[in-house]
Amino acid sequence: MHTTKLTIVVAALLFAAPAFAADRKIIVPPGTKPGGNYSQGILIDGTLYISGQAGEDASGKIPADFGAEVKQALDNIGVVLKAADMTPADVVSVQVYLTDAARFPQMNVIYTGYFKEPRPTRTTVVVESWSGPGTSRSRSRPGSSHICHRVALLALLFRHRGACAPEHE
């Protein structure tokens, strides 16, 4: 009898799955390559999920100036938003990761210039480092001109306008 109930539940879930399946669109901004280890963005049920963006330009260079790095990270997010036909006004939540808490005020000035009122919710976390090419764990020798990531904007969630809440009058 237990097996029969389990079979009925599994069958019901399998037949109901298409009803719960959401439209899923991979967002590939112009100039980026699809595939790799992650997607730049995924649009599902009117919500756009954007992969973490750091401050490299299209050639992979990280600006020497921290403010320029923050702006580039935001511009990288903007490219994904534009490819999904969205704008910074659609952003609902941002996570910012910094390797130096003392840089928070400088990041915040640039951030508040990019996101207008009402700004998205935000969590800012200070991390010692992260791994991978161009990051603080892969520093070259002292005195070299190698620039390491100092900021990353991760796990950004965007809601397409009109997908959930009614417009305010």
137-162 pLDDT, tens per residue? 433 334 434 457 787 775 556 665 55
pTM of the predicted protein model: 0.72
Six-digit token string for 161: 């306008």
Mean of the per-residue pLDDT values of the chain: 76
Q: What is the pLDDT of residue 17?
A: 44
**How buried is residue 11: exposed, middle or buried, by Cβ count under 10 Å (0-12/13-18/19+)?**
exposed
Separation between Cα atoms, residue 152 and residue 85, nearest integer Å: 23
Average pLDDT over residues 115-135: 81
**Domains in the chain: ranges and CATH:** 23-159 (3.30.1330.40)
The confidence score (pLDDT) of residue 164 equals: 47
Q: Is the pLDDT of residue 119 over 90?
A: yes
Do 50 and 77 form a contact (C-beta atoms < 8 A)?
Answer: yes
Burial letters for 71-93: b for 16+ Cβ neighbours within 10 Å, e otherwise? bbbbebbbbbbebbebebebbee
Which residue from 161, 5, 134 is spatially nearest to 73, judged by alpha carbons?
A: 134
Are 40 and 53 a contacting pair, CB within 8 Å?
no
